[in-house]
Amino acid sequence: MAKGMVIIDEDRCKGCGLCVTVCPVHILQLAEDRFNAKGYRPVEVTDPEACTGCTVCAIICPDVVFTVYRRKRQPRRAAAVA
């Protein structure tokens, strides 16, 4: 299961590509074959399972396109001592 998940508000995107350049796992790209309501090629995720939830895309995006969710860490259990 992915550590993170991004929700993309596609029609806010202006296709500037900033987020594509900073995603550390290189899973963002501009759509090649479609346009959003503003007439731009919107950003899309190529491999959702690889998202780390780092939030870099959301921080750099000037148009508040991303909402990032991170999976909570499971608490570690102490090993049983015999």
By the rule CB under 6 A, 29 interacts with ligand SF4 = no
For ligand SF4, the closer of residues 2 and 78 by Cβ is 2
User: Given candidates 35, 68, 69, 74, which one binds ligand SF4 under the rule CB under 6 A?
Assistant: 68
d(CA 79, CA 44): 42
Identify the residue whose tokens are 């594509």. Answer: 20
By the rule CB under 6 A, 36 interacts with ligand SF4 = no
User: How many other β-carbons are positioned within 10 Å of the β-carbon of residue 68?
Assistant: 17
By the rule CB under 6 A, 15 interacts with ligand SF4 = yes
Residues 6+ apart with CB under 8 A from 70: 3, 4, 53
Footprint on this chain of ligand SF4 (rule: CB under 6 A): 4, 6, 13-19, 23, 25, 27-28, 43, 51-57, 60-61, 63, 65, 68
